[in-house]
Chains A and B, each alone.
Chain A
């Protein structure tokens, strides 16, 4: 058994790396979209608010897998060549962005109105208000929800295996196909996903505690 695991370790390690890469790209891109979208929902003019609201509500009502398939099969049909990995990252980022936008909007909206009024009273510009008053308080409220989203995204990244990206899930499927040791290698994959996500949740909880004391 040890031998079997050792001989498959390189493939599984590469898969894990791809899972990490995809998740990191999605979280980065999704957070950028989400912060932009959240600010659009909060401070945008009516047309911008409507557009962002439409984006957020649409993306949250469609399964991630459908988004991945739609981009992976749909983009080439309109002449845009995308690799499976890019299609997966794009689809999950759009989904992640919609969630983060809603988190950012909720967090900023929950900051008491008096804070903005006080900042206005001090004569701070819009940018200064965001940077020195709103963001520091919003981050504390965003963080716990963001960590939950990160865990969900790492889990969802397994869906890219269905468009043939060799992530951790696909790597394990390949190893199972070769060795016929399904239970053993599913357990290995489960352990790796669990360690990754559980560590992340724990770190999130810790940060949350630390911020809430400050």
Chain B
């Protein structure tokens, strides 16, 4: 019979809490960097010249069809061989997750750009805005409102994906679980607590996002 002993888990709770905060931080940062990459790729795919369209499509399809773990290994073990050893493990992971997120966000933003009415753009052009101004003041703000629900879902997936960072010893929540498990062998307790922490964080984020969505909903 398994004897429960919660003490070792709660004695090391700061490890888990710090891990959780780091995970959310990494997910937020990757969402931000990924949004920039994704926005560029989406604009290239919709409005770019042929080679740009192809490049953007190739990036999106390639990244979406290979495992995140492989991208992490490539950045962490592969890039230094190319002379790019600027990153420690945490920043390597942020880079990998951003590139990964960018491919998913490119599709989210593409759908958003395509959902912006032609009339809106024509009206903006008619009052004399340049193409750049149209993108900045019309397409992008409207697109963000359309894309908000998908952006929220992407953020939650990214947060869950931060658990894979434990593979290269980034001290996030899953790595905290591994360490406590190795040191104390309270395996059931630690994974129950960690599972609950992920669950609670996911639902808290989802609730916050629903509130934001209500506020910025597109009026029809």
Contacts and interface: CB of A to CB of B under 8 A. Distances in A.
Contacts of B82: 183
B218 to A, nearest CB: 22
A78 interface: yes
Which has the most chain A C-beta neighbours within 10 Å: B70, B174, B203? Answer: B70
A194 B63 CA distance: 9
Give the bracket for the number of chain A residues in contact with chain B.
35 or more
A40 B185 CA distance: 37
Judged by DSSP, the binding face of A is: helix
A169 B77 contact: no
Contact of B163 (A66, A193, A194): A66
A201 to B, nearest CB: 7
Contact of A194 (B62, B181, B202): B62
Interface in B137-189: 160-164, 166-167, 174, 177-178, 181, 185, 187-188
B195 A62 contact: yes
Interface in A163-179: 169, 172-173, 176
Contacts of B198: 61-63, 66
B81 interface: yes
Nearest to B167: A162
A117 B202 CA distance: 39
Contacts of A176: 77
B92 to A, nearest CB: 13
B94 interface: no
Given A62-B198, A66-B163, A183-B82, 6 more contacts: A62-B160, A63-B161, A63-B162, A69-B177, A77-B187, A190-B74
Interface of A: 58, 61-66, 69-70, 73-74, 77-79, 151, 155-159, 161-162, 169, 172-173, 176, 182-183, 186, 189-190, 193-194, 197-198, 201
